[in-house]
Amino acid sequence: MTTPTPEKLIIGGNGKTGSRVLARLHAKGIPARNGSRSSTPAFDWNRAETWAPALHNVDAVYITYHPDLTMPAAPGHIQAFVETAVKAGVTHLVLLSGRGEAEARRCEKIVQASGVDWTIARCSFFNQNYSEAFLRDAVMQGTLALPVGDVLEPYVDAEDIADVVTAALSEPGHEGQIYELTGPRLLHMNDIAAEISRATGRPLVYQPIRFDQFREGLAQEGLPPDLVDLFVFLFREVMDGRNASVQDGVQRALGRAPRDFSEYARATALAGAWREEVYA
């Protein structure tokens, strides 16, 4: 009887980074499968009974936690999942984490104490938040109304994150590494608006607002209260300047420089991600 080749489990394989990692692994001919509520077998963070079936014949896992590791339930879920994964025979855990988040550090420590190989991808804010998440609506309306003042952020590209995670899952040498993943330069919100305007040929401006206005706007868009609280927390606590530094995680992991926001903006505009609607 032939023993099946172990697979990689990509939790959140429909998401911004998970979908890219899954595609890269398949392109390399590495067996990998999606772990989501829509996959077979299904994976649901809120249903622990789905974890063991999803881990069958899996030797490595890319762990993404929805909506964020700062959620109160995250440490408990991560602890229980890691124990289940190790018991199932997983030998390598790769965790998507966030820069400057004390709550995320708790989850990192759980993975590091698992007794198996681990890699941490500790990321700054994603470029793709402006095209594949809630900030896309703001781009389409022509105004980035956000409560970030003059804070600088070294936005990282999801393509770079996916390249690092894929390398960690498919190549030796990434075990025991914490990769702080950022872009190559610090950006002000005016820089973001200018880069996207240049790429699309349409005006986009940054408008500083208060946190109460930000919260009210998110609620009016119909976001669930827990997500409203999450976004307010992230912009209040994490986008406060604590992450205003460029790090070398992409260079260390891949031997190349990270993708610049301008390259992301040009490619995203050409792909039509900001073309379907008309700016207000």
Residue 30 burial class via C-beta count within 10 angstroms: exposed 0-12, middle 13-18, buried 19 and up = middle
Per residue in 5-54, pLDDT tens? 999 999 999 999 999 999 999 999 999 999 999 999 999 999 999 999 99
Q: Which residue has the tokens 């855990």?
A: 93
Residue 267 burial class via C-beta count within 10 angstroms: exposed 0-12, middle 13-18, buried 19 and up = middle
Helices (H), 158-242: 158-170, 189-200, 211-220, 225-233
Percent of residues, the chain, with pLDDT higher than 70: 98
Task: Look over the chain and give the mean of its residue pLDDT values, rounded to a whole number.
Answer: 95
pTM for this structure?
0.95
Per residue in 225-237, pLDDT tens? 988 998 999 898 8
Is the CATH number 3.40.50.720 carried by domain 7-124+157-183+245-258? Answer: yes
Task: List, in sequence order, every beta strand (DSSP E) within the chain.
Answer: 7-11, 32-35, 58-63, 92-98, 117-123, 143-146, 177-181, 205-208
Per residue in 156-202, pLDDT tens? 999 999 999 999 999 999 999 999 999 999 999 999 999 999 999 99
As a whole number, mean pLDDT of residues 247-275 equals: 97
pLDDT at 65 over 90: yes
Tell which residue, 147, 135, 161, 132, has the closest CA to residue 64.
161
